[in-house]
Amino acid sequence: MVMKNLTVKKNTKMLQTIKILKILQPVLLVCLFLVNISHAQKPDLKTIVIDPGHGGVDVGAGGRYSREAILALNISLKVREVMQKEMPDVRILMTRETDILPGNLSNKNEALRWRANFANENNADLFISIHLNSTPANQRWEKKQVGTKKQTYYVKQGKKKVAKTRTVPVYERYRAPATVLGTQTYILASDYYKGKVASAGRSSSIKDYVDADSAGGMPEVDPVEARIKAQQYAKYFFQKSLTLATYVEEEFANIGRYSWGVWQRDWAGAQGIYVLTATQMPSILIETGFIDHPDEEEFLNSSEGLEKMAKSIVNAVKRYREVLQDPEKMIQQTAATTEE
Ligand SMILES: [Zn+2]
C-alpha cells in the first residue's frame, strides 16, 4: 500500500518536473548559451598560487648576509601586494606567508608535494614559484701574495742537522669577485624526450649553475606518469607557460636586469622543478637573481628592488591575462637550441 502510493506520488512528481522543464526549456537554453558566452569572454585566470621557494628548515641558497627562503618570501609577499592592487578580481593564494615549510611540514620533499597539491586542490589557473639562484662560480676563493717571511729549515750534514733560513711568500685568501648574475624563468619542456635545456641561443655555461638550486634531492618522478602528464602539459599548458615566462623575462630586462631568458627542463630529470611537473595548470619557476652575487643580493634586499621585481612579475601576469583572450597572439615555441 505504502509502496504503491509512493510510486504514484513519484510518477506525479516526475510528470510535474517534465512539465516544468518543458516550460523552462527556452529559458534554460538561453542560460546555457549565456554561460558559454561568459565562459568564452571571461579570462581563464581566477586563482593564482604564489609559491615562495624553500622556507623554515629548508633555507635555500645563501648570500653574504641573506638566505633564499627569506628573500623569496619577501618578493612573493610584494608580488601579492602589487597584484591585489592591480588585479583585484583575482584570488591570490600563497603556499606560505611566513618562514616555514608550506603546510608547516618538516620535510622538504613532503613540502614540495604539498605545494603542488595545494595548487591542484584549489583549482588554481596559474602557479608561480619564486626562487633565487646561486653558483659555485660566485663562491670561489683565491689567494694572493701579501709579502714574504723567513722560514727555518734543516738539512742533514753527516749526522748533524743544520738550521738554515729561506724567504718564502706569504699568501692571503680572499673571495674572488662574483661574476654570474641575472634572472631565469623555468618551464617544463613540451617534449618528454627532448629539451634538457632549451633556451634562446644562450650560453650553455649557465647550465651547471642552475643545479645549485636543486641540491638536496627531489621527490622521484615516475617516468610513466611523467610521460602521460607531459603529453597533457604539451596540449594544454606548455604554450601558456612559455608565454608567461617570456613576458616575465622581458619585464625583467625592461627594468635593467640581465635576463638569461626562458629555460625548459626535461620531465624525467625535472631537477629542482618538481613543483612544475606536479601542478595541473600553467606553471613557471622564476629565478629572480643570484643571491651570491653581491649586487643582486643588495638589489633584492632593497625596498626599491622588491617593488621593481614585483611590478615586473605582475605586469607579465597582466599581459598574460590579456593574451588568454586572444590565444593566437600567444608565443609559439621557436626552434630553440637544444643542448645535451
Ligand atoms: Zn630555490
Cα of 129 vs centre of ligand 1, distance in Å, is 9
Cα of 15 vs centre of ligand 1, distance in Å, is 62
> If you count them, how many residues does the chain have?
340
User: Is 213:273 a contact under the CB 8 Å cutoff?
Assistant: no
Cα of 274 vs centre of ligand 1, distance in Å, is 11
Quick check: 210 pLDDT over 60? no
Straight-line distance from the first to the last Cα atom of the chain, in angstroms, rounded to the nearest whole number:
79
Per-residue model confidence (pLDDT) at position 243:
96
Cα of 8 vs centre of ligand 1, distance in Å, is 67
- Please state the φ and ψ torsions of residue 207, each to the nearest 5 degrees: -55, -40
User: Is 268:192 a contact under the CB 8 Å cutoff?
Assistant: yes
> Minimum mean pLDDT among 153-167, 173-187, 225-239, 323-337: which range?
323-337
Cα of 103 vs centre of ligand 1, distance in Å, is 18
Report which of residues 207 and 134 the model is more confident about: 134
Residues 6+ apart with CB under 8 A from 214: 271, 272, 273
Averaged pLDDT for residues 95-123? 95
Averaged pLDDT for residues 74-85? 98
Per-residue model confidence (pLDDT) at position 8:
42
Cα of 89 vs centre of ligand 1, distance in Å, is 29
Cα of 213 vs centre of ligand 1, distance in Å, is 5
Quick check: 45 pLDDT over 60? yes
Per-residue model confidence (pLDDT) at position 93:
98
Sign of CA dihedral 272, 277, 278, 279: positive
Cα of 5 vs centre of ligand 1, distance in Å, is 68
Cα of 90 vs centre of ligand 1, distance in Å, is 26
Report which of residues 325 and 335 the model is more confident about: 325
Cα of 215 vs centre of ligand 1, distance in Å, is 9
Quick check: 101 pLDDT over 50? yes
pLDDT classification of 253: cutoffs 50, 70, 90: very high
Cα of 176 vs centre of ligand 1, distance in Å, is 23
Cα of 138 vs centre of ligand 1, distance in Å, is 16
Cα of 126 vs centre of ligand 1, distance in Å, is 19
Cα of 52 vs centre of ligand 1, distance in Å, is 9
Quick check: 199 pLDDT over 60? no
Cα of 25 vs centre of ligand 1, distance in Å, is 55
Cα of 182 vs centre of ligand 1, distance in Å, is 14
Q: What's the CA angle centered on 140, arms 266 and 212, to 5 degrees?
A: 20
Averaged pLDDT for residues 154-164? 92
Cα of 85 vs centre of ligand 1, distance in Å, is 27
Cα of 32 vs centre of ligand 1, distance in Å, is 45
Q: Which one, of 8, 232, 45, 209, lies nearest residue 127 by Cα?
A: 45
Cα of 333 vs centre of ligand 1, distance in Å, is 26
pTM above 0.75, yes or no: yes
Report which of residues 332 and 29 the model is more confident about: 332
Per-residue model confidence (pLDDT) at position 230:
85
Q: Which one, of 296, 94, 331, lies nearest residue 184 by Cα?
A: 296
Per-residue model confidence (pLDDT) at position 52:
97
Q: Alpha-carbon distance 327 to 36, whole Å?
A: 17
